């Protein structure tokens, strides 16, 4: 039902620097997460577009802000992953600087999704991002990906563990791109942020 709202989504551009982003107006929702958390697979499942965000067996392939147009006013942004990627220290610093500048300056940003592997949540970078979200007025949502790798009881245990570290203002979904678990729930949240 909700996926019809994403049916016209398409890649617009990659922006290695803030100055290359589209005009700062309309509605943007950005996806953040560690390089091996399953961010691209989650985006593809949510938009029901198999190859929209490029997935790779080598984490860290997203090296710029990848912009996807939903319509003329609404965009989804795939942000470079942090943490795992085998890149030089200077490249990693460039990514951190890019993310920080994006978060501080982008006025059309309407919500942030933090993607975490349910088996390995709350790494230092995740916690740092959650702290930033809590201090900002930006709506936030956590997606615990790769839930199909755990039993139902393990999923519940990890969900409870993560929820203990989340402020009430940040919502959370147990998610599996493979099994489509949590997809509808996340679609609804995004559409609320997009005012659709």
- Can you read off the two tokens belonging to residue 76? 């989804």
User: What confidence tens digit (pLDDT) does each residue in 122-156 have?
Assistant: 999 899 899 989 888 899 999 999 999 999 999 99
3-class SS of residue 121: coil
User: What confidence tens digit (pLDDT) does each residue in 4-22 have?
Assistant: 999 999 999 999 999 999 9
Q: What is the DSSP string of 26-47?
A: SEEEEEEEBTTS-HHHHHHHHH
Residue 142 CB-density burial (10 A; 0-12 exposed, 13-18 middle, 19+ buried): buried
Q: Which helix (H) or strand (E) holds 133?
A: helix 124-135
Average pLDDT, the chain: 90
Q: How high is the pLDDT of residue 86?
A: 58
Low-confidence ranges of the chain (pLDDT < 70): 56-62, 83-92, 95
From the list 78, 14, 79, the residue with the least C-alpha distance to 47 is: 78
What whole-number distance in Å separates Cα of residue 100 and Cα of residue 116?
A: 19
């Amino acid at each position: 039902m909700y996926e019809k709202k994403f049916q016209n989504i398409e890649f617009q551009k990659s922006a290695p620097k803030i100055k290359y982003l589209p005009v700062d107006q309309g509605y943007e929702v950005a996806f953040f997460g560690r390089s091996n958390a399953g961010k691209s697979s989650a985006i593809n499942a949510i938009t029901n577009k198999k190859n929209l965000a490029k997935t790779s067996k080598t984490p860290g392939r997203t090296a710029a802000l990848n912009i996807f147009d939903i319509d003329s006013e609404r965009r989804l942004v795939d942000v470079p992953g942090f943490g795992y990627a085998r890149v030089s220290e200077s490249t990693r610093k460039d990514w951190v600087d890019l993310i920080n500048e994006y978060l501080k300056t982008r006025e059309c940003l309407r919500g942030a999704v933090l993607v975490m592997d349910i088996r390995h949540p709350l790494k230092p970078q995740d916690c740092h991002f959650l702290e930033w979200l809590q201090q900002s007025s930006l709506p936030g949502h956590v997606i615990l990906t790769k839930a199909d790798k755990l039993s139902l009881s393990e999923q519940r245990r990890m969900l409870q563990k993560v929820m203990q570290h989340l402020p009430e203002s940040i919502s959370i979904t147990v998610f599996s791109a493979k099994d489509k678990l949590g997809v509808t729930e996340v679609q609804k949240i995004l559409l609320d942020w997009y005012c659709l």
